[in-house]
Amino acid sequence: SQQGEEDPQALSIQEGENATMNCSYKTSINNLQWYRQNSGRGLVHLILIRSNEREKHSGRLRVTLDTSKKSSSLLITASRAADTASYFCATDAFAGAGSYQLTFGKGTKLSVIP
């Protein structure tokens, strides 16, 4: 089941600008994670925000979480050409019997133009 939905599907910006990607989800979560994927390669974990947290920073990344609206955003500040990639949000939710399931959205394709 597809839990997270990213918006926009694609985003093109100039180097140095900020990039904002949004994620909405449907059910209660344990945490929400953001990943980056360069074309055809493995996903790289960027940041995890727990359901009781509202904001988290890591370098040029800022993630917010609003559990009342079931939404999250990823902000990349001062973007670089190397940030060009697809970005996925993934919701970690209880799946019964002591298990959690990580469910991914379809991603936002970010292009940073030098």
Partner 1 sequence: EAQVTQNPRYLITVTGKKLTVTCSQNMNHEYMSWYRQDPGLGLRQIYYSMNVEVTDKGDVPEGYKVSRKEKRNFPLILESPSPNQTSLYFCASSLRLGATGYTFGSGTRLTVV
Asked if 16 interacts with partner 1 (CB under 8 A), we say no
Residue 59 C-beta: closest distance to partner 1, Å = 15
Contact criterion met (CB below 8 Å) for 110 and 87? yes
Among 31, 64, 67, 77, binds partner 1 (CB under 8 A): 31
Residue 85 C-beta: closest distance to partner 1, Å = 13
Q: How many CB atoms lie within 10 A of CB 5?
A: 16
Which lies closer to partner 1 via its Cβ, residue 15 or residue 111? Answer: 111
Does the N-terminal peptide bond of residue 114 adopt cis geometry, omega within 30 degrees of 0?
no
Which lies closer to partner 1 via its Cβ, residue 11 or residue 15? Answer: 11
- Paired with 103 in beta bridges are 91
Among 105, 108, 109, 110, binds partner 1 (CB under 8 A): 105
Q: Please report, in angstroms and rounded to a whole number, the separation of the first and last CA atoms in the chain.
A: 37
